[in-house]
Amino acid sequence: MTADLASRIQRVQGALADATIDGLIVTPGSDLRYLTGYDAKALERLTALVLPQAGDPVLVVPALEVAEAKRSPAALAGMDIVTHEETDDAYAVATAILSGAGRVAVDDHMWAQRLLTLQAAYVDVTWRAAGRLLTDLRMRKAPDEVASLQHAGAAIDRVHRRMGEFLKVGRTEREAATLIADAIVAEGHVAADFVIVGSGPNGASPHHGVSEREIESGDTVVIDIGGSTQEGYRSDCTRTYAVGAEPPAEVTEYYEILRDAQRAQCDYARPGVTAESVDRVGRTVIREGGFGDYFVHRTGHGIGLETHEEPYIVEGNQLVLEAGMAFSIEPGIYLPGRHGARIEDIVVTTDDGLDRLNTTTRALTVLAG
Ligand code: ZN
Ligand code: ZN
Ligand code: ZN
What tens digit of pLDDT does each residue of 56-98 get? Answer: 999 999 999 999 999 999 999 999 999 999 999 999 999 999 9
Query: How far apart are the CA of 369 and the centre of ligand 2, in A?
Result: 23
d(CA 324, CA 311): 11
The mean pLDDT value of the chain amounts to: 96
Query: How far apart are the CA of 187 and the centre of ligand 3, in A?
Result: 19
Query: How far apart are the CA of 351 and the centre of ligand 2, in A?
Result: 25
Nearest to 193 by CA among 107, 281, 307: 307
Are 95 and 220 part of one and the same domain? no
Structural domain containing residue 308: 140-367
Find the ligand nearest to 297 CA. 1
Task: Name residues with Cβ closer than 5 Å to ligand 3, which is an ion.
Answer: 236, 328
Residue 121's pLDDT band, with cuts at 50, 70 and 90, is: confident
List the CATH number of the domain containing 56.
Answer: 3.40.350.10
Are 129 and 262 part of one and the same domain? no
Find the ligand nearest to 307 CA. 3
Query: How far apart are the CA of 310 and the centre of ligand 2, in A?
Result: 15
96-114 pLDDT, tens digit per residue, is 999 999 999 999 999 999 9
Find the ligand nearest to 222 CA. 2
CB-neighbour burial class of residue 161 (10 A; exposed 0-12, middle 13-18, buried 19+):
middle
Query: How far apart are the CA of 104 and the centre of ligand 3, in A?
Result: 33
Residue 3's pLDDT band, with cuts at 50, 70 and 90, is: low
Query: How far apart are the CA of 366 and the centre of ligand 2, in A?
Result: 20
Query: How far apart are the CA of 107 and the centre of ligand 3, in A?
Result: 23
d(CA 92, CA 99): 10
Query: How far apart are the CA of 168 and the centre of ligand 1, in A?
Result: 25
pLDDT of 2 reads: 61
Are 219 and 303 part of one and the same domain? yes
Above 80 in pLDDT, residue 24? yes
pLDDT of 196 reads: 98
Please give the model's pTM, rounded to 2 decimal places.
Answer: 0.95
> What beta strand segments (E) does 169-285 contain?
191-199, 219-228, 237-243
Are 120 and 255 part of one and the same domain? no
Task: For residue 136, give the amino acid letter.
Answer: D
pLDDT of 152 reads: 98
Task: Name residues with Cβ closer than 5 Å to ligand 2, which is an ion.
Answer: 224, 236, 238, 344
pLDDT of 224 reads: 98
Percentage of the chain exceeding pLDDT 90? 94
Query: How far apart are the CA of 237 and the centre of ligand 3, in A?
Result: 7
Task: Please count the structural domains in the chain.
Answer: 2
211-236 pLDDT, tens digit per residue, is 999 999 999 999 999 999 999 999 99
Are 38 and 145 part of one and the same domain? no
d(CA 40, CA 30): 9
Mean predicted confidence (pLDDT) in 121-130: 92
Q: What are phi and psi of 122, to 5 degrees?
A: -125, 75
d(CA 302, CA 207): 17
List the CATH number of the domain containing 183.
Answer: 3.90.230.10
